[in-house]
Structure 1
Amino acid sequence: MNNRIALLRKTLSLTMEEFGKRVGVTRSAISNIENGKRNLTDQMILSICREFNVNENWIKTGQGEMFTPEPENEFDVFAKNFNLNDFERNFLEKYLKLSKQEREAVTIFIESLTNNTMGAFLGMIPKTPEELESQYPPVSDSTHKAI
């Protein structure tokens, strides 16, 4: 992994100091990583991937391309920024492409599901202390000790 950091840095034409500054560490930290005296932390890997658009799999294993492909459109950028999976990305893209009327219908449908679910849940909650005790009688000391 350490030699891939050196290769990445040289590919980007950055000094150790410039590279380190961009990921929040010192020049000596980058030197220690490249020389194998220090290992990359998961946080450092994430910082490098985010800052330089690097393929995490490439850093960890050497497999695949060094850089991740640039997003093709606004939805790809949005999905990347919010770490959406494919389903979430596709759902939002299709939802936003609906007409205003169709989006309102979907919103009403989702709100009705939420209200029905919450209504059913709230209906199960006892309304008085007496109702609570009748549904869930207190445990007596003798029953408690037997358990």
Structure 2
Amino acid sequence: MNQTDEIILELLDYLRLIKEVKSEADFARRIGSYRATLTKIKKGTAHFTVEQIGSICREFNVNANFLFGAQKKVFNTDDSIEIDRYLKPENIETTAFSSSK
């Protein structure tokens, strides 16, 4: 699995945490994909496409530079959170989040 795939899957965990998406199937549907495709990406046998990445950016107002590891700012808003490194479900309470101002 490449870095962008890892970042997007961890973004999915965050979006579920804040209840922006209900499930992986909901996320897949909203970006024009399928739950089965997410399973393949998790297994490393597929990758997010350019079209899917564009859909993620539009649908969830995500900063494309964040998805490619170039910036810490997650969303295209002035008060966006920043994630220093990958968000792991087991570390959600201890992961360093901060508002960028």
TM-score range, shorter chain: 0.5 to 0.7
Aligned ranges 1:1-147 → 2 under 5 Å: 1-13=4-16, 14=21, 15-69=23-77
One-letter amino acid of the counterpart of residue 23, structure 1: I
Partner Cα separation in structure 1 for residue 70 and residue 24 of structure 2: 21
Distance 1:62 1:4, change over 3 A: farther
| TM-score (normalizing by structure 1) | 0.44
Query: Greater relative contact order: 1 or 2 (C-alpha under 8 angstroms, separation 6 or more)?
Result: 2
Structure 2 gaps, min length 5 = 79-101
**How many residue pairs get matched?**
70
CA RMSD across the alignment: 1.6
Greater share of residues in helix: 1
* C-alpha contact (below 8 Å) 1:16/1:31 kept by paired residues: no
* Structure 1 ranges of 4+ moved more than 4 A: none
Partner Cα separation in structure 2 for residue 12 and residue 29 of structure 1: 18
Deviation at 1:62, TM superposition (A): 5.0
Structure 1 gaps, min length 5 = 71-147
Distance 1:62 1:36, change over 3 A: farther
| TM-score (normalizing by structure 2) | 0.61
Greater share of residues in strand: 2
Partner Cα separation in structure 1 for residue 12 and residue 67 of structure 2: 12
Deviation at 1:57, TM superposition (A): 0.8
1:55-88 per-position Cα deviation (integer Å, ceiling 9, x unaligned): 1011112523111116xxxxxxxxxxxxxxxxxx
Deviation at 1:2, TM superposition (A): 1.2
Q: Which one has a bigger Cα radius of gyration? A: 1
